[in-house]
Structure 1
Amino acid sequence: MPHLVIEISRQVLDTDSARRLLLALHDTAAGTGIVQGRDLKLRIVPIDIALVGKDDEPFVHLTFALLAGRSPEQKLTLSTLFLGVLCKHFPLIGRCSVEIRDMDSFSYKKRQPDHVPIPDAN
């Protein structure tokens, strides 16, 4: 259920490094015990046009949204570890940031995999 979304300047992204980055973030999150690895949904959103102030400066921003209920200490652990992974993968990018968001369990809805109808083969 947790959603990890990375917004990144397209000019610093390539397919191989993107996959390695997602796998490293998956392993980092799962390794904390705060979330289950099998539940993580990770994706990268390349950004073509963005400014930092008035400058065309590359950036990486990670948003981690999960159901409310984790302690401030758990959220700090996640954000600190995620920032470390970003800095390791992008040592030349000065603009790396992480945000942990609580999702409202009352309004968050999803289809359960075991409730997906199986199409008729005929």
Structure 2
Amino acid sequence: MPHFIIDCSDTILKIHSEKNIIQTIHKVAYSTNLFDENDIKVRLNPYEIYSVGNKRDDFIHVFAHIMQGRTTEQKAHLSRQVVNKLVSMFPQISNIAMNVSDFEKATYCNRAML
């Protein structure tokens, strides 16, 4: 944990490789000092078929799922840092966004906890 899931139009992979995008998001997340580097997980889902405002405009949306306990300001800073980096990487894409959701500690479980 945390998990950063990137949904995007598949055409962005013509600009930057999947590996480069994943490594970049990992670096930005780590640079916020909110997470241990080895806990950060990043995945990318490119879509061939999609609609953005009833058009076929390129898009990037990052869904961050993190353990509860960070302040609203920390989560907002994380979003701004990630979106800012993506805008610098993809200046031609106008649809770039991110949201942060909290895992509830009381209901979270992983294999090591069994």
Report the TM-score when normalising by structure 2. Answer: 0.91
- The one-letter code matched in structure 2 to 1:30 is Y
- Separation in 2 of the partners of 1:25 and 1:11? 18
1:6 corresponds to 2:6: yes
CA RMSD of aligned residues (A): 1.9
- Separation in 2 of the partners of 1:109 and 1:15? 37
- The one-letter code matched in structure 2 to 1:31 is S
- The one-letter code matched in structure 2 to 1:58 is D
Residue 101 of structure 1 corresponds to 101
Deviation at 1:66?
A: 0.3
Q: Residues 16 and 93 of structure 1: is their aligned pair in 2 closer, same or farther, counting only changes over 3 Å?
A: closer
Report the TM-score when normalising by structure 1. Answer: 0.85
Q: Give 4+ residue runs of structure 1 displaced > 3 Å after superposition.
A: none
- Separation in 2 of the partners of 1:89 and 1:17? 11
Residue 85 of structure 1 corresponds to 85
Equivalent residue pairs, number: 114
Gaps of 5+ in 1: 116-122
Higher-Rg structure is 1
Percent same amino acid at aligned positions? 29
| Deviation string, structure 1 residues 90-110 (Cα, Å, up to 9, x no partner) | 111100001011111122211
